[in-house]
Structure 1
């Protein structure tokens, strides 16, 4: 007997798969390890019943996108969550995460939490210029919750951000009944404790799924396949837009005289933090050779 379904949780080598008939818990066939395939939450898969009555994950169907960290596939939207205080907004992390979404063809949304502690106005303007949707949320007061709920309805979405920004708190406010564990901020370190330890998709009342993901405090570009400097521009939509007017076909958009992107930045059409973070990422990956890129894209 064979069924198709959606992987909603992966823990300790066991996969929980939602099928049209019933949820099943199974292990993956041994050939996946030999082929270098790791099933993950969000995968559409086929499962087969074994002669002993157990289930085995037999096939991973083609993915439309896939993130390495957190391991999740087939996302429609990526909500990049950043808090205004405790911890303060790290725009470099936000822009790196947005670039991951853009390059993987996932619609990004920036969510600023803890808006009772500070004014998100200047930050909203940065991403308004970029053409990226933004939400401002205070989970305790219920402010902005409905906008995020509408954007996630009927879609497969993940909520991603560094530790302590309030992803689980936000999801609990969005969908009462989930009961996700939340943690306090470490005063000594100024960041959150990791309360989410694996990726799990939660079915939403209005259809679709939302993934809570482990927080992070550092960002390895190689693990996200952001090692091709020529493709990096696709991760910054407003930079890509102005790059089409650039007279230099091989322009890096970081220092060249007469560059259309830098001209737009000087005219205030691209936020300073965005062009700065693009340049920092370009410098970080410019030394990676083509053959190294292929070896890292696993």
Structure 2
């Protein structure tokens, strides 16, 4: 190793050590209690985060680029040092390249946003529902762009696929228009959504929206938090897909109560750390069907080739759409070892 290479390696090591020194580990040991403050991570900029302290002050703290911190984390802060506390919940996804991402932490509810234009990819809603339920986060559906003629058809399709009939999910569905409020029909859904977040007289809910780019997620956040004025992208006329407009995850307090985490849009939602038994248990509608019709013959039934399966019987009797079972089998094939 040349002298120049050794100098460069020493510089990189010193820089890495300086980054590591900005994080507390373990929890404030040896630190006077008067210096330690608790807070919530409310914005993540890659190499820095904003922390909203219990006093209400917002403080910026440097972190390593891959520190693992995400918006919604509860943290302890001492000056420029940061320590993440245990999470109650975390929402994770796997992208098309197989990389794992934690989307947000300590969520109570997850809003899955869809629209007639652009249409969400096949299986997106199912994947989001499974990920939410497996993470012990309550999912709900938001159908945006209620002013478009095609939205009524989408509402009917969503209700037929996920809500109505045996096996339907008992989850809230809000039909909204994030960009227009000139008629009572268009404002009622947004008001119902605000009340859902406030959750009076119980504990207000912390929520996040997930949705493919272009479904109006940023417009929806702008309507709920108009002071943010987030940039809104148009639909690409060539691909029919939305343009990403949100690039930084942020957490905000809602005027009527509750909190909202705004996350960058994405076009896929790969399942992370979901086992085959969990898929069988959490696939939308299966547990409701089994509760309605009785259990399968085998406790560990995978609803595939096993005999006396409640789910297969429901398909044969027309109580579950064959497309829903086929969608489940496609996800099952993804999770099983090749």
TM-score band w.r.t. shorter chain: 0.7 to 0.9
Question: In structure 2, what is the equivalent of residue 149 of structure 1?
Answer: 194
CA drift of 1:192 comes to 0.5
CA offsets 1:84-123 (integer angstroms, 9 cap, x no match): 1x21243510110111000000000011112323211231
Structure 2 residue corresponding to 1:76, chosen from 102, 108, 116: 108
Counterparts of 2:175 and 2:300, CA distance in 1: 38
Counterparts of 2:48 and 2:228, CA distance in 1: 21
Determine if contact 2:169/2:288 at 8 Å carries over to the other structure: no
Determine if contact 1:182/1:195 at 8 Å carries over to the other structure: yes
CA drift of 1:150 comes to 1.6
Larger Rg: 2
Structure 1 residue corresponding to 2:128, chosen from 74, 97, 122: 97
Q: Which runs of 5+ in 1 are unaligned?
A: 50-54, 289-298
Structure 2 residue corresponding to 1:65, chosen from 80, 89, 101: 89
Question: In structure 2, what is the equivalent of residue 112 of structure 1?
Answer: 143
Question: In structure 1, what is the equivalent of residue 62 of structure 2?
Answer: 27
Q: How much is the aligned-residue C-alpha RMSD, in angstroms?
A: 2.1
Question: In structure 1, what is the equivalent of residue 265 of structure 2?
Answer: 215
Structure 2 residue corresponding to 1:250, chosen from 288, 300, 304: 300
Does residue 225 of the first structure (1) align with residue 264 of the second (2)? Answer: no
Q: Quick one: structure 1 residues 225 and 122, their matched pair in 2 at CA, closer, same or farther if it must change by over 3 Å?
A: same
Q: For 2:245, what is the secondary structure of its paired residue?
A: coil
TM-score by length of structure 1 reads 0.84
Structure 2 residue corresponding to 1:38, chosen from 68, 81, 101: 68
Does residue 56 of the first structure (1) align with residue 81 of the second (2)? Answer: yes
TM-score by length of structure 2 reads 0.75
**Runs of 4+ in structure 1 displaced over 4 angstroms?**
none
Determine if contact 2:162/2:285 at 8 Å carries over to the other structure: no
CA drift of 1:8 comes to 0.4
Counterparts of 2:149 and 2:281, CA distance in 1: 33
Determine if contact 1:95/1:274 at 8 Å carries over to the other structure: no
Q: For 2:265, what is the secondary structure of its paired residue?
A: coil
Question: In structure 1, what is the equivalent of residue 213 of structure 2?
Answer: 163
Q: Which runs of 5+ in 2 are unaligned?
A: 1-34, 93-100, 199-203
